[in-house]
Amino acid sequence: MAENISVNKLLQEFPLLEDLQSLKTVLWLNENKGKNPALEAEFSFKEVLEAEQRLNRFSSYIRVAFPETVASKGIIESNIREIPAMSKWIEARCNSNFAGKLLLKCDHDLPISGSIKARGGIYEVLKYAEELAIENNLLDYQDDYARLNEDSFHQFFNRYKLAVGSTGNLGLSIGIMGAKLGFQVTVHMSSDAKAWKKQLLREKGVEVIEYSSDYSKAVEEGRKQAALNPMCHFIDDENSKALFAGYAVAALRLKKQLHDANIIVDADHPLFVYLPCGVGGGPGGVSYGLKKIYGDNVHLFFGEPTESPCMLLGMMTGLHDEISVADLGLTNQTEADGLAVGRASKFVGKMMEPILSGCYTVEDSFLFKSMRAIWEEEQIFMEPSAHAAVFGPIALFNEGMSYFEQNIVNPENATHLIWSTGGNMVPEEQRQEFLKKKV
């Protein structure tokens, strides 16, 4: 934290901090929503459209390299679905009447790496690979990119390195995609990373460096080491615009899915979206894209563990990456490994200032209750982090009914979309352990 900021002074200015410190679940509503113009100088929607095009170019390669994507023609995408039984389960936990339609966005089921990181992480690897191949006159934009699966390309990419710092899932995405293309990949893993994720990467020939400290340290070390090697591209989860663009493509795809399902989003039929937030890139990119498409008719909320509310803290105080949850005395210890981040991305926080409706916190015990419920009711397995999204409607209907009034929204007509962010790579043994967990 910057030397001149005192926690006592912040506590006076932001009384909600006291609740954060005492690990109460809170809902923070963003008063800056709609106030400042979006930062077009920092990031333009053009980059999202380019990302969509690039992913289309790569689809023929993805299809041959990952046969599980044949049905989706090499496009890495997940479904939306209704979860009626979960809707009742959520309703039972709301003090006010839960109203509206409930949908699940199934990113726990994304092909290749089984989490939302299959959007941003894989996209940045493909973008770098394309740049290298084009610069070296090995590839043309008009080519059939299935060529990239040939040995000669594998040998070419093998001269280059990729590095990333991760709590687990970003490492999986970069490692699986990078290794498939032929890159030498190093993943700097924080202490939260689950053993099976490290093992899976090592089996794929990825170098895994383990740290006894948290995510911020793993990223910092990775960034430092990568800077020493000009042949190494560092995928910077805290600052990368390519990652952000890759995540944002999800919004274009969701628009089509909602349209195809005859779900209207307009002033009378608002869309509420709840996303689990770690450093911010995944939920931030998706939110940026959705705001561009739906404007005032979409309402975006981020969920974070009570021990790791870094985005809430950074955005509410306006200090972004200058303050960490440790400054409040929080541990950043959570079973939601994908969300175990103590310091939020400043780039994302700034981008979210005019966009985000709010942030809420959720207890780890809820994540496991929700995991069991959705498993028993709908036979869907989502990893702990993803359940931070399930708490969104509960937080809003219990603490934020004023939000509907302020925004002149009738909850009866709303669609609530829970963005499930991870799960299908979790091995059976680990699933059973999670599902049996006493909470």
Ligand X SMILES: *Cc1c(COP(=O)(O)O)cnc(C)c1O
Residue with Cβ nearer ligand X (265 or 310): 310
- Position 169 contacts ligand X (CB under 6 A): yes
The region that residue 168 occupies, defined by phi over 0 for left and psi between -120 and 50 for alpha, beta otherwise, is left
Nearest distance in Å: CB 402, ligand X? 27
Residue selected from 276, 305, 342, 358 as contacting ligand X according to rule CB under 6 A? 276
Pick the stretch among 5-13, 150-158, 275-283, 402-410 that binds ligand X (CB under 6 A): 275-283
- Type of residue found at 304: E
- Position 282 contacts ligand X (CB under 6 A): yes
Residue with Cβ nearer ligand X (63 or 197): 197
Residue 188: CA count within 13 A, CB half-sphere: 24
- Rounded CA separation 262/259 (Å): 5
Nearest distance in Å: CB 22, ligand X? 24
Nearest distance in Å: CB 248, ligand X? 12
- Position 422 contacts ligand X (CB under 6 A): yes
Nearest distance in Å: CB 338, ligand X? 3
- Position 115 contacts ligand X (CB under 6 A): yes
Task: Provide the CA 202 distance to its chain's centre, in angstroms.
Answer: 24
Cα dist. 120→2, 210, 220, 252 in Å? 31, 23, 20, 14
Binding to ligand X in span 302-361, by CB under 6 A: 338-339
Are the beta carbons of 324 and 310 closer than 8 angstroms? yes
Nearest distance in Å: CB 138, ligand X? 32
3-state helix, strand, coil split of the chain in percent (to 5) is 50, 15, 35
Pick the stretch among 56-64, 252-260, 272-280, 428-436 that binds ligand X (CB under 6 A): 272-280
Nearest distance in Å: CB 386, ligand X? 5
Residue with Cβ nearer ligand X (330 or 352): 352
Pick the stretch among 149-157, 259-267, 319-327, 379-387 that binds ligand X (CB under 6 A): 379-387
Phi, psi of 206 (to 5 degrees): -85, 140
Of 298, 274, 300, 290, the closest CA to residue 385 belongs to: 274
Binding to ligand X in span 382-401, by CB under 6 A: 383, 385-386
Residue selected from 83, 421, 425, 434 as contacting ligand X according to rule CB under 6 A? 421
Helix (H) or strand (E) holding 417, with range, is: strand 415-420
Sign, CA torsion 361/364/369/373: positive
Are the beta carbons of 164 and 171 closer than 8 angstroms? yes
- Rounded CA separation 385/379 (Å): 18
Token pair 């200015």 is found at 13
Residue with Cβ nearer ligand X (74 or 384): 384
- Position 175 contacts ligand X (CB under 6 A): no
Residue with Cβ nearer ligand X (345 or 415): 345
- Under rule CB under 6 A, how many of the chain's residues touch ligand X? 19
Burial letters for 174-190: b for 16+ Cβ neighbours within 10 Å, e otherwise? bbbbbbbbbbbbbbbbb
Pick the stretch among 65-73, 111-119, 317-325, 369-377 that binds ligand X (CB under 6 A): 111-119
Contact residues toward ligand X (CB under 6 A) are: 115-117, 169, 276-283, 338-339, 383, 385-386, 421-422
